[in-house]
């Protein structure tokens, strides 16, 4: 099946076009600066260099039409006509409590995504815009929503509830949702394949470490806990996000610094994390450079990151009653061997031992990094959220179901 995967942001629309059976990427790219000056489409056919075309893209619908024109053009295209697109899979950030699986898009599914806007005000509106742009440009082509939150819907109340007045949960659905679910699920499934054991038997901690980072406890194939919460601000410290802090800091800072809601949100989301601590950068490559040149705050930021990671691994092993594997994925998890090593340091007592020789220098390839004698495996597994969305889309369209657990 040929599946187009769409990840629509407020001013961008990223796409990957798959042959979903083989996982081959036929083409990929992104429409950039939609609705702004200097908009363009960056496009590449499989194995070829990128081309950038400056195009007027006043809105997502026009962007979608131009993407379709690229895919079908004689010069840059990979198909003769739009009719060859069998289905479209959309990344949708928040599915609230409504979606524990992916869903074939219908008017009622769109309405439910709209209901979740207060939970993800920056993400769900552009995701919906992307869906509607595709509906307009490709009428009749089945569309599927794949939610970042869905995989985590198996958490039980003791894991997802906050100790706030229960009425606030009733009124606003304030609870832990978790994010990066497509990635956690994908790497957990790959881990089971690598270990040659059924996922239903395994206790896995998946560490998705990128600009945004989250950790999940996947017991017998189901997420039982995860570090992000109502929003993607919670959990371990990130590039620019603070992660878990004492909630009293919020009102303290608002008072001391005279901050309004926008101001405090900006401090916690954009000025904190390893950027805030180091004062150098949110990018771990810059932090490593700075630390090598003697910058103590850059070293501190990375130490904090690894220490917090390690604490979550320990906590989730306790929550699952054991651990069979730790998986590292995403930009940092796949590329930064120092962070991998330090995140499992001193966990030998739990049977987690990383082979430093195998780990060192390794980037972006699937590999078992466990040292001899390790009872829990340490795995590097590159994530592929787009392929996971393509496969989910194929599954939903083939099964013909409206919503699937
Ligand atoms: P996002 O959450 O935006 O998708 P990524 O998963 O791309 O983020 O992760 C970004 C982080 O990954 C950065 O801190 C960067 O240092 C690290 N990273 C990405 N690629 C590499 C690489 N090739 N080598 C080292 N670090 C990398």
Residue closest to 352 by CA, chosen among 329, 376, 372, 368: 376
**Strand partners for 208:** 214, 329
What pLDDT, on the 0 to 100 scale, is given for residue 89?
97
Q: Report whether 76 contacts 43 (CB < 8 A).
A: yes
Whether 148 is catalytic: yes
From 208, 282, 332, 364, mutation site for ligand 1 pocket: most ligand atoms within 8 A of C-beta:
332
Q: What would the mean pLDDT of 18-29 be, rounded to a whole number?
A: 93
Find all residues with CB under 8 Å of 37, minimum gap 6, and list them.
Answer: none
- Taking only the tens place, the pLDDT of each residue in 61-87 is 999 999 999 999 999 999 998 899 999
Per-chain mean pLDDT for the chain: 95
Distance of CA 269 to the CA centre of its chain: 16
Residue 401 has pLDDT above 80, yes or no: no
Distance (Å, whole) CA 148 – CA 184? 10
What pLDDT, on the 0 to 100 scale, is given for residue 404?
41
Distance (Å, whole) CA 163 – CA 169? 10
In Å, how far are 224, 225, 360, 367 from 218, measured between CA atoms? 6, 8, 27, 19
Residue nearest atom 20 in ligand 1 by C-alpha distance: 331
Cα dihedral angle (132, 84, 392, 214), rounded to 10 degrees?
-60
For residues 299 and 137, the model is more confident at 299
- Taking only the tens place, the pLDDT of each residue in 205-243 is 999 999 999 999 999 999 999 999 999 999 999 999 999
Residue nearest atom 13 in ligand 1 by C-alpha distance: 283
Residue nearest atom 16 in ligand 1 by C-alpha distance: 284
CATH topology (fold) of 2-147: Nucleotidyltransferase; domain 5 (3.30.420)
Distance (Å, whole) CA 40 – CA 28? 14
For the chain, give percent helix, strand, coil, nearest 5: 40, 20, 40
What pLDDT, on the 0 to 100 scale, is given for residue 140?
92
Find all residues with CB under 8 Å of 157, minimum gap 6, and list them.
Answer: none
Q: How far is the CA of 285 from the centre of ligand 1 (A)?
A: 8
2-147 and 197-385 in the same fold:
yes
Q: Report whether 310 contacts 347 (CB < 8 A).
A: yes
Burial tier of 363 (Cβ tally within 10 Å: 0-12, 13-18, 19+)? exposed
Residue closest to 254 by CA, chosen among 246, 266, 263, 245: 263
For residues 358 and 120, the model is more confident at 358
Instruction: Considering the candidates 49, 54, 56, 148, report the single residue annotated as catalytic.
Output: 148
Does any ligand 1 atom lie closer than 6 A to the CB of residue 214? no
Q: How far is the CA of 194 from the centre of ligand 1 (A)?
A: 24
Q: Report whether 390 contacts 5 (CB < 8 A).
A: yes
Residue 378 has pLDDT above 70, yes or no: yes
- Taking only the tens place, the pLDDT of each residue in 266-284 is 999 999 999 999 999 999 9
Q: How far is the CA of 332 from the centre of ligand 1 (A)?
A: 5
Residue 43 has pLDDT above 90, yes or no: yes
Pairing of strands 203-209, 143-147: unpaired
Distance (Å, whole) CA 70 – CA 258? 50
For residues 95 and 122, the model is more confident at 95
Distance (Å, whole) CA 284 – CA 306? 12
Residue 258 has pLDDT above 70, yes or no: yes
Distance (Å, whole) CA 10 – CA 28? 19
Residue 122 has pLDDT above 90, yes or no: no
Q: Percentage of residues in the chain with pLDDT exceeding 70?
A: 99
Residue 405 has pLDDT above 50, yes or no: no
Does any ligand 1 atom lie closer than 6 A to the CB of residue 207? no
- Taking only the tens place, the pLDDT of each residue in 102-111 is 999 999 999 9
- Taking only the tens place, the pLDDT of each residue in 310-330 is 999 999 999 999 999 999 999
Distance (Å, whole) CA 21 – CA 16? 14
Cα angle vertex 163, ends 161, 164, to 5°? 105
What pLDDT, on the 0 to 100 scale, is given for residue 103?
97
Q: Which atom of ligand 1 is closest in space to residue 285's alpha carbon? A: 16
Residue 400 has pLDDT above 90, yes or no: no
DSSP-derived letter for residue 53 is E
List the 377-380 sheet strands across, edge first.
Answer: 222-226, 213-219, 203-209, 325-329, 377-380, 367-368
Mapped onto helix, strand or coil, the DSSP state of residue 371 is coil
What pLDDT, on the 0 to 100 scale, is given for residue 403?
52
Does any ligand 1 atom lie closer than 6 A to the CB of residue 285? yes
From 285, 286, 381, mutation site for ligand 1 pocket: most ligand atoms within 8 A of C-beta:
285
| pTM passes above 0.85 | yes
Residue nearest atom 3 in ligand 1 by C-alpha distance: 211
Residue closest to 383 by CA, chosen among 152, 189, 94, 124: 189
Q: How far is the CA of 211 from the centre of ligand 1 (A)?
A: 7
Residue closest to 383 by CA, chosen among 151, 200, 206, 198: 206
Q: What would the mean pLDDT of 374-382 be, rounded to a whole number?
A: 97
Domain ranges of the chain: 2-147, 197-385
Q: What would the mean pLDDT of 170-190 be, rounded to a whole number?
A: 97
Superfamily for the 197-385 domain:
ATPase, nucleotide binding domain (3.30.420.40)
**pLDDT-based confidence at residue 402 (cuts at 50, 70, 90):** low
């Amino acid at each position: 099946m040929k599946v187009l995967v769409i990840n629509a942001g407020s001013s961008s629309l990223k796409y990957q076009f798959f042959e979903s059976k083989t996982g081959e990427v036929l083409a990929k790219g992104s429409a950039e600066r939609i609705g702004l000056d200097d908009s363009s489409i960056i496009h590449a056919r499989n194995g070829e260099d990128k081309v950038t075309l400056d195009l007027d893209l006043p809105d997502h619908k026009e962007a979608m039409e131009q993407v379709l024109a690229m895919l079908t053009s004689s010069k840059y295209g990979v198909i003769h006509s739009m009719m060859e697109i069998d289905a479209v899979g959309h990344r949708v950030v928040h599915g609230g409590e409504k979606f524990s699986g992916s869903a074939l898009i219908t008017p009622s599914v769109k309405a439910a995504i709209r209901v979740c806007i207060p939970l993800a005000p920056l993400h769900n509106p552009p995701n919906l815009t992307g869906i509607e742009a595709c509906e307009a440009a490709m009428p009749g082509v089945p569309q599927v929503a794949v939610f970042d939150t869905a995989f985590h819907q198996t958490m039980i109340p003791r894991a997802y509830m906050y100790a706030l007045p229960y009425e606030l949960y009733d009124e606003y659905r304030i609870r832990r949702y978790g994010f990066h679910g497509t990635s956690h699920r994908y790497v957990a499934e790959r881990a089971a394949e690598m270990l040659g054991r059924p996922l239903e038997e395994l206790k896995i901690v998946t560490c998705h470490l990128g600009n945004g980072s989250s950790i999940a406890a996947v017991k017998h194939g189901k997420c039982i806990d995860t570090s992000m919460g109502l929003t993607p601000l919670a959990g371990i410290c990130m590039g620019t996000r603070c992660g878990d802090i004492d909630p009293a800091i919020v009102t303290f800072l608002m008072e001391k610094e005279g901050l309004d809601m926008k101001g405090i949100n900006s401090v916690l989301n954009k000025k904190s994390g390893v950027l805030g601590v180091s004062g150098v950068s949110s990018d771990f490559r810059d932090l490593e450079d700075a630390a090598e040149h003697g910058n103590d705050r850059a070293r501190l930021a990375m130490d904090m990151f690894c220490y917090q990671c390690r604490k979550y691994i320990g906590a989730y092993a306790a929550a699952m009653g054991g651990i069979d594997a730790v998986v590292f994925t995403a930009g940092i998890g796949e590329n930064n061997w120092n962070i991998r090593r330090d995140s499992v340091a001193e966990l030998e007592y739990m049977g987690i031992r990383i082979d430093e020789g195998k780990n060192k220098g390794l980037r972006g390839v699937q590999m078992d990094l466990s040292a001899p004698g390790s009872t829990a495996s340490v795995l590097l597994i590159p994530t592929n959220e787009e392929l996971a969305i393509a496969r989910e889309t194929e599954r939903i369209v083939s099964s013909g179901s409206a919503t699937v657990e």
